[in-house]
């Protein structure tokens, strides 16, 4: 065998090996997808089942399904203590919601379009969950306590969902709650308008039974994506288990990155919102 023939032979053997390896990988993937398909949970997509089972094989906690969601950086805790007044006039803190899942949105009742849209999305997600939705409380927290009185909140939340809780408070209480959730808000006055508007960040938060944020969703997320994330959380540990057994994002081994565009996802008069 001369040098050239030898080289060709080696290349042929290597090509053969590469083909075998590729075939093996394809077979394995096929088996994994098949297993994912067979082991799919109720309401779970094939991709979700695959990710969950792959994570289990690798000895990790199942990742929280978050289609349309934003993964929080590891160790970043959102949510926590607040002291506010609900739409029935009762003083409440985060402890009144302990053990329940919450879908929380910060906004203001004078908001012409974005807040109503997002609150409608939350209501639709809760309804989409059916019976499981009864374990989830939709919560609307105002960033405009000056105008959003208890009465205004009661009238407003009733338009979206019979179980939606409206929370207002003193400016200091609202500011503290917004800080815990890293919500930005600012009053905006425009000369051509008689009423001011609020510019504010616009995320929907899925809060776990321990009061910590498990998922957050960008504006215009589909109700189905939220419902899917809630189902994932319920599967990951149930109402009391998820908090202590590492169902939250803080304990998962998954790589979590907050995309830079996630931070300023707000809305207000500066972004084409106007009160007409």
Closer residue to Ni ion (CB): 114 or 123: 114
CB of 89 to Ni ion, least distance (A): 24
Tell me the torsion sign for CA atoms 42, 47, 50, 53: negative
Closer residue to Ni ion (CB): 40 or 275: 275
Closer residue to Ni ion (CB): 114 or 183: 114
| Host H or E run for residue 174 | helix 171-180
Cβ-closest position to Ni ion? 111
CB of 118 to Ni ion, least distance (A): 8
Distance CA 128, CA 43 (A): 11
Sequence-distant (6+) residues with CB within 8 A of 167 are 82, 84, 85, 86, 87, 92, 139, 140, 141, 142, 153, 177
Distance CA 33, CA 14 (A): 28
Closer residue to Ni ion (CB): 78 or 183: 183
- Which residues sit at the interface with Ni ion, rule CB under 5 A? 107, 111, 114-115
CB of 274 to Ni ion, least distance (A): 12
Q: How far is CA 154 from CA 83, 97, 109, 252, in A?
A: 18, 18, 11, 38
Closer residue to Ni ion (CB): 238 or 269: 269
CB of 117 to Ni ion, least distance (A): 9
CB of 91 to Ni ion, least distance (A): 25
């Amino acid at each position: 065998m001369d040098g050239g023939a030898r080289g060709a032979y080696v290349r042929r053997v290597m090509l053969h090996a590469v083909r075998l390896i590729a075939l093996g990988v394809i077979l394995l993937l096929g088996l994994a997808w098949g297993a994912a398909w067979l082991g799919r949970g109720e309401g779970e997509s094939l991709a979700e089942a695959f990710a969950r089972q792959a994570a289990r094989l690798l000895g990790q906690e199942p990742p929280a399904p978050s289609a349309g969601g934003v993964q929080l950086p590891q160790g970043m805790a959102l949510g926590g203590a607040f002291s506010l007044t609900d739409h029935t006039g009762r003083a409440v803190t985060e402890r009144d919601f302990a053990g329940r899942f919450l879908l929380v949105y910060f906004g203001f009742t004078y908001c012409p379009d974005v807040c109503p849209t997002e609150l409608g999305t939350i209501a639709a997600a809760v309804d989409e969950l059916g019976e499981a939705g009864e374990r989830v409380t939709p919560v609307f927290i105002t960033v405009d306590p000056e105008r959003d009185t208890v009465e205004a909140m009661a009238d407003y939340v009733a338009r979206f969902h019979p179980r939606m809780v409206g929370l207002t408070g003193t400016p200091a209480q609202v500011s503290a709650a917004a800080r815990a959730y890293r919500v930005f808000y600012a009053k905006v006055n425009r000369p051509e308008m008689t009423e001011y508007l609020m510019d504010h960040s616009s995320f929907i938060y899925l809060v776990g039974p321990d009061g910590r944020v498990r998922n957050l969703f960008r504006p215009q997320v589909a109700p189905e994506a939220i419902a899917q994330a809630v189902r994932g959380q319920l599967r990951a540990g149930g109402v009391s288990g998820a908090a202590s057994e590492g169902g939250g994002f803080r304990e998962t081994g998954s790589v979590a990155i907050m995309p830079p565009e996630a931070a300023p996802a707000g809305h207000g008069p500066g972004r084409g919102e106007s009160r007409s």
